[in-house]
Amino acid sequence: MKLKYSLITRRTFLNTLFGGWLFAFFSGAFYTLMKFAFPTLGKEPDFVVLDRKDFSDIPNNSVKPFAWGGALGLYFKKEDGSVAALKGVCTHMECNVAYKPEEKKFYCACHQGWFDETGRNIAGPPPKPLEVFDVTEDGDKLIIARKGVKVELPKA
């Protein structure tokens, strides 16, 4: 069926087309500018170096957060005093997880995901375990690195 009149005018059509083109152009330019101004934005480090004294006195069966790039890292002192470090970001949809000391598990409140003390996903929708990092003590520094990344600090 052919309409006797158009639903939009030629001017509206051309304005929409031109506006869409302008939006796409400036979005691309803005993205490029942001990548130039902040080249590490959104990237995660291979390791972080922390002050050991800030983490040495946390009680057993607790966690202390640290910055893993722009993400949450969790320094974890287990019940037996051994330590671990994990990325505190859920593997389902990237919500931050919290440690539940009474249950000795990590919990993601977004969709009720659970991880055990080793970071293994044990209940709920998370498809993979939490990322676990290597923890090394070097003098008064604490080096937290991705698995397999070897870090040597310059000697003073």
Phi and psi at 58, nearest 5°, equal: -75, 145
Minimum CB separation of residue 125 from ligand FES in Å reads: 5
Interactions with ligand FES, residue window 10-69 (CB under 6 A): none
Of positions 41, 93, 149, 153, contacts ligand FES by CB under 6 A: 93
Of positions 73, 88, 119, 126, contacts ligand FES by CB under 6 A: 126
Of positions 64, 117, 120, 124, contacts ligand FES by CB under 6 A: 124
Tokens found for residue 54: 């800030």
Minimum CB separation of residue 65 from ligand FES in Å reads: 17
Q: Is the CB of 61 or the CB of 96 nearer to ligand FES?
A: 96
Minimum CB separation of residue 44 from ligand FES in Å reads: 18
Q: State the CB neighbour count (10 A cutoff) for residue 144.
A: 23
114 forms beta bridges with 107, 123
Which of 128, 116, 155 shows the shortest CA–CA distance to 139?
155
Told to check if 128 binds ligand FES by CB under 6 A, we report no
For 111, 140, 148, the CA distances from 46, given in Å and listed in that order, are 29, 20, 10
SS3 content of the chain, % helix, strand, coil (to 5): 20, 35, 45
User: Tokens 């397999």 correspond to what residue?
Assistant: 148
Told to check if 125 binds ligand FES by CB under 6 A, we report yes
Region near ligand FES per CB under 6 A, out of 8-16, 31-39, 72-80, 104-112: 104-112
Per DSSP, 3 falls in state: -
Give the interface with ligand FES as residue ranges (CB under 6 A).
90, 92-93, 95, 108, 110-111, 113, 124-126
